[in-house]
Each structure stands twice: as structure tokens, then as C-alpha cells.
Amino acid sequence: MLAIWGRHDEIFAAAGATAFTRDAPDARVELVDGGHFLLESDLDHVVATITDWLRTTERSA
């Protein structure tokens, strides 16, 4: 599982992202230095993170 979250999200606090690891200990949580609309403010970073995660997940499958 991959959770990409805005560290400064005013709607969903960063603690919400880290909470995923309680139910999915192997989850990868990425806190991006952005707000709620990461795809608008940090698209390149988000795409690179997803691409890296997919490559890593593909190799371990």
C-alpha cells in the first residue's frame, strides 16, 4: 500500500497517513511538503513516487 500525503494538508492531517501503518505495517507512507491538492502543487513528485513504488512492488511480487 502506498499513501502519499500533504504534510501541510489542512483537511486531512498527516497523522491520518501514518495511521495506515497500524493496519498495513508494510505500507509506504510519503509525506510531501504540500497541502491538500498535491496533484496540482507537486505533480512531478507524486508521479515519481508512484512510479518508484510500482517498480519496487513489481519486483517483490
Write down the domain spans for the chain: 2-60
Per residue in 8-35, pLDDT tens?
A: 999 999 999 999 999 999 999 999 999 9
Here the cell at position 34 is: 504540500
For residue 51, what pLDDT band results from cuts at 50, 70 and 90? very high
Rg (CA), the chain: 12
Distance between CA atoms of residues 60 and 51, nearest Å: 14
Here the cell at position 52 is: 518508484
Q: pTM (2 decimals)? A: 0.81
* pLDDT at residue 53, rounded to an integer: 95
Residue 41: in which H helix or E strand, if any?
Answer: helix 38-41
